Amino acid sequence: MKRKARASVGSTITPTKRFQASDDPGTLEEQSSQIAAHEVTYYFKDGFRLVLPYDHVYESFTKQRWFGRTLYDVMSSEFAAFTDEYVKSACANGLMKVFDVRGNDLYPEPGEQILDHICSPNEKLWHLAVVHEQLALDKRVRILHEDDDYIAVSKPSSIPVYHTGTYYFNSLVEILKREVFGNAPRQLYPVHRLDKLTSGVIILAKNSKAASQFGAGLTNSQFRKVYLARVRGNFSRVFDEHKCITLDDGSGLVACCHGYMRVVSHKFSVHEFTRDYSEKNAKPSETRFRMVAYNPDLDESLILCYPVTGRTHQIRAHVKFLGFPISNDRCYNDGELSASTHYYPDLPVVHWELDDQGRWRMPELGFVAPKQDKPILGNKKYHIGLNKPAEGLRPSPSGIFLHALRYIWLGRLNISDCAPEWVQDFGIQPNEGFLSKLDLWDDTVDGKIVTQDATGNNEDHMAPVELGDTERATELATQHP
C-alpha cells in the first residue's frame, strides 16, 4: 500500500514526473540537475519500505587508489552492484563518461574505448543509471534530541545514514527530510556514521557551522560512544586470554583491544583487524569491551563496546579477531549463525518488472504500483541494484546484533537510546536504563592494567591513550548530503 505522510511528521509525499530520454535533455549538466530534482513516493508492504525504480546520475571525483588504473578495472572491482557485463554495456551506450578538470567530456562519442581510460587526478566520473533500490524495513525513525544545531535520532537497521551505492531515498537523511520535516527545504549534514545493518544513536548537524564544530570535537577526542552487541560464546574468557589488555576501572573488568584495521575488499566492504602494522594501508585501532551477561542456552554473550577509534566495521572485525563474532553477522561470523529473523527479517530479492499496463510490480511481495511509469533507459537487464552482485543472487540481512546505545560529546550532548528488543534474551528489558550508565573508559591515572597485555608484559600500564581519526572526522563533518 501507499502510505500518506505520518500525521505527526508532515504532508503527503507526491510522485514525480520522470525525465524521459526523448525530452531533449540538452547538456549533461542540465540533464543531471533535472534528474536530481525528482521526488519520490514511498510504498509499504508486508513490513518493508519500497521505492520504485528511478533515474539517477552518479558523480565522483577520482580517488587516489584509482590513479593509473583503467576505468573498467575501477568500475568492475570497486562497486558490488556492477557486473562486468553491466559496465561494458553502460560504457558502450554513453551512460558512463569521464570529464577532465576543466569539465571537458573526454569521450563524447559512446563506445567501449572508454573502458581503457587510465584514471588520473581531478577527473570526474559520471554515470547515468536506472536504480533499483534495495528494500528497507518499515521502521519509524525516533527523535532522541533536537536543538538549533543538531538532531539526534535512533536509526533503524537496514538503511544507511547517507546516500551510498544504490541507496538514495532509502537512506536516513532522505527519510528524515520527507517524514520528519515534511518535505520542507532542509539541509542535513551527517557528521559521523553507522553501518547500514547497525541501529541506534546517530547525530546530524542542521547547518555547516555546526558540522564543522562537531568535526573539531572529533579531532580533539571529545566524544565517547557505547554500543551493545550480542556475540557467539562466553565472552568472559577474553579476560583470561592474552589477546587484549585488561584493566579494572572500579566497576569491573574492561578488555582493551589494540591493533590495526585494513581494507580487505573495497567492493564488498570487508575489513580486517590485524596485529601487523606493516600491512598495506593499516590504520591504528582500539576498542574496549565490558561483559554484561551470558545466556548458556544460546551460548551467546551480551557485551558493551567502546570504539576509541572510528574505523569502518571496527567492532565487528575486533570481536571476530577475539574469537567471539557477532552471532548473526554473515560478513564476519564464519561459524554457526544465530537464528535472528524474528528480530531482523531477510530483505527479499529485488525483482521489479513492468506489467502489461506499464506499472512497476514486485511479484515476491504481491505489490503493484498504482500508476504507470516508464524508465528512461532501455533494457532492464542493464539496470543496477538488482541484487545480482558478483557473489550471487540471495536475500539480504536487514540487521545485526549491534546497537549504538549512547553518544557523548563532553560538555555538550549526552544522548542515550533504549536497548534493542534482543536484550530480552538475557533477561533485560529494553527500557532499563542501567546499560546506558555503564562506561568503558577511565582517562585518569586510576585505570591500571591487572593482567598481561598481548605481548606478555606483566608491568602496569595506564589506560590507553585515545587515537583520533582526523581523516574520517574531516570527511564526514564537511560532507553535504
The CATH number given to whatever domain includes residue 262 is: 3.30.2350
Residue 411 lies in a domain: yes
The reported pLDDT for the residue numbered 371 is 85
**Residue at 188 is within a domain:** no
Q: Which residues pair with 432 in a beta bridge?
A: none
**Report field, pTM of the whole predicted structure over 0.95:** no
Give residue 446's pLDDT.
Answer: 35
Return the pLDDT at 348.
Answer: 85
Whether residue 246 is contained in a domain is answered as yes
Question: Looking at the 3D structure of the chain, how many domains does it have?
Answer: 1
Q: Could you tell me the residue range of the domain that residue 329 belongs to?
A: 223-341+398-465
Q: What is the pLDDT of residue 164?
A: 83
**Inside any domain, residue 90:** no
Q: Would you say 60 and 34 are in contact if contact means Cβ atoms under 8 Å apart?
A: no
Give residue-wise pLDDT tens across range 110-131: 998 999 999 999 999 999 888 8
Please check whether residue 75 lies inside any domain of the structure: no
Whether residue 7 is contained in a domain is answered as no
- Kindly list the catalytic residues: 195
Listed residue (119, 269, 255, 295) closest to 198, CA to CA:
269
- Residue-level pLDDT at 386: 52
**Low-confidence spans in the chain with pLDDT less than 50:** 2-37, 387-392, 444-481
Q: Alpha-carbon distance 124 to 131, whole Å?
A: 20
In a domain, 333, yes or no: yes
Query: Do residues 344 and 296 make contact, with C-beta atoms less than 8 angstroms apart?
Result: no
Report CA-CA distances (Å) from 277 to 57, 251, 262, 473: 39, 32, 9, 22
Structural domain includes residue 178: no
